[in-house]
Amino acid sequence: MQEKLSVGASNALPTILSTSASYVDFEGTDDPEHPQNWRLSRKLLASILACSGTFIVSLASAIFAPGVDQASKAFGVGTEVGILGTTLYVLGFAAGPLIWAPASELRGRKWPLTIAMLGGGIFTIASAVAKNIQTLIICRFLAGMFGASQMTVVPGVLADLYNNTTRGAVITLYALTVFVGPLMAPFVGGFIVSSYLGWRWTLYIPAIFGLANGLLSVFFLDETYPPYILVMKATAIRKESQNSSILARHEEIEVNIAGLVEKYFTRPLKLLFTEPIILLVSSYMSFIYGLVYALLGAYPLVFEHVYGMTPAIAGLMFISFIIGMVLACGFILFGQLAYARKLAENKGIPVPEWRLAPTFLGAPLLAIGLFWFGWTGFTPKIHWAVPASAGICIGFAVLCIFLPCFNYIVDAYVPIAASAVAANIMLRSAVAASFPLFSRQMFQNMGIQWASTLLGCLAAIMIPIPIIFRAYGPQLRGKSKVFP
């Protein structure tokens, strides 16, 4: 199970400085030191620490939203300015991969994740104690930039730990942490804001969780990146044998800053504009991801203003989304059995288009759910349970679209997966950051039914995207400018 020196097809990292060293390597495919051969309890501990960090970060991204009105009044600014506390946090997700992706490939997974959780916790506390709006939104952006480590590095951790057969199921559970966090945030934040604690505790609480996760990671999170595990192995052997010529290949990597910029900034942007698969699928995913943050503004408008609920009770309506996502998780996991069977029949070689099957159900359900929500939630004459139930349909659809599309991009661009994922994260985070800026005004000015109709029509227009890629994906990949 020899690890390649280069990461993907990039020349950003490797330049060999020595040719006379003795190199350590894993002792065959069954080497117990390789993360995929660890005992299950050790894998689960690393997975839980990493995924719980993702949940904390995603919760922190939206938990401030219920406190925007209080914070805006405290600082004497308009609500539109206060919303920047959410927008800039999510925008930090777009900037963070430029730091954390190369760091995880140079120094392993553990310390980028650990440092990011501790740093994010510190900047979230700084936001909580802010004396002016400028400090709050700047610290929120920095906290989001640190939080991007979880979005960028955790999929790599799971790829280190699990093989092709089981990785899809684990990534499905990871996707729940990405979405359930922002969907829990409205009612968690709503109850905090409605209590004597006030809006600042919507920041203190995720900061405490983040710092706790970071401290636990310092002591209990094992390194999972195979090349860096070999670095630690070589270091131990050198110390014991006093033989300085024993090295891991990863130690002879010369950091090329220009190459790193190419891989994680220039190339992702180039991929967005030259690869139709990445552009269209990432645009579709960006709409889905942004929709979640748009509904953070729309739901309070419907259930507080139309049905007269308190902010905390209105936030509980997001539970329907979570139910839908859990159902989608079960649906995708059930489909994983068929995927594993196809993979075995194809001698372990994945076909990216196999990943898209759940989107054929999710894509039309998303449009149906949006129309359902808009045309039943604009009047109190219809019981509140009817628009609330639309969240089950929307939540189910969101996960059934987002996760298969993410796996599709990774499978289609395996040699440059890091750049493809960076492109996807940058676009979807930038788009999602913009949605809170206009979603509430859009629902207020257009009316709930017509704003939902607009979003539903956009979702309907995008239904053919996964169908097209299922049918013509192989031909498009064959014409890619990236691969010869």
Q: In this structure, are residues 192 and 419 in contact, taking their beta carbons and an 8 Å threshold?
A: no
Encoded tokens for 17? 């400085």
Residue 315 placed within a domain: yes
CATH of the domain at 460: 1.20.1250.20
Task: Look at residue 232 in the predicted model and tell me its pLDDT.
Answer: 86
Residue 115 placed within a domain: yes
Task: Look at residue 179 in the predicted model and tell me its pLDDT.
Answer: 85
Regarding whether 290 and 250 lie in a shared domain, the answer is no
Task: Look at residue 175 in the predicted model and tell me its pLDDT.
Answer: 84
Last residue of a domain, one of 172, 199, 220: 220
Domain of residue 13, residue span: 1-31+225-255
Residue 36 placed within a domain: no
Task: Look at residue 262 in the predicted model and tell me its pLDDT.
Answer: 67
Task: Look at residue 118 in the predicted model and tell me its pLDDT.
Answer: 96
What kind and span of H or E run contains 457? helix 448-461
Helix (H, G, I), strand (E, B) or coil at 22: strand
Residue 397 placed within a domain: yes
Q: In this structure, are residues 69 and 297 in contact, taking their beta carbons and an 8 Å threshold?
A: no
Task: Look at residue 5 in the predicted model and tell me its pLDDT.
Answer: 33
Which residue has 């196809």 as its token pair?
342
Per-residue DSSP letter, 317: G
Task: Look at residue 323 in the predicted model and tell me its pLDDT.
Answer: 93
Residue 71 placed within a domain: yes
In angstroms, the Cα distances linking 355 to 60, 172, 393, 403 are: 30, 12, 21, 9
The strand pairing partners of 201, in sequence order, are none
Regarding whether 328 and 298 lie in a shared domain, the answer is yes
Residues of the chain with pLDDT under 70: 1-21, 252-257, 259-265, 414-415, 418, 483-484
Regarding whether 274 and 407 lie in a shared domain, the answer is yes
Residue 169 placed within a domain: yes
Q: In this structure, are residues 377 and 450 in contact, taking their beta carbons and an 8 Å threshold?
A: no
Q: Give the alpha-carbon dihedral of 112, 421, 55, 368, to 10 degrees.
A: 170
Query: In 10 A of CB 229, how many CB atoms?
Result: 23
Regarding whether 152 and 106 lie in a shared domain, the answer is yes
Encoded tokens for 463? 């239904």
Helix (H, G, I), strand (E, B) or coil at 3: coil
In whole angstroms, what is the distance from residue 167 CA to residue 107 CA?
23
- Give the CA radius of gyration of the chain: 23
Residue 483 placed within a domain: no
Specify the number of domains making up the chain: 3
Which residue has 């706790």 as its token pair?
212
Task: Look at residue 273 in the predicted model and tell me its pLDDT.
Answer: 83
Is pTM beyond 0.85? Reply is no
Task: Look at residue 396 in the predicted model and tell me its pLDDT.
Answer: 94
Regarding whether 106 and 207 lie in a shared domain, the answer is yes
Regarding whether 149 and 25 lie in a shared domain, the answer is no
Task: Look at residue 178 in the predicted model and tell me its pLDDT.
Answer: 86
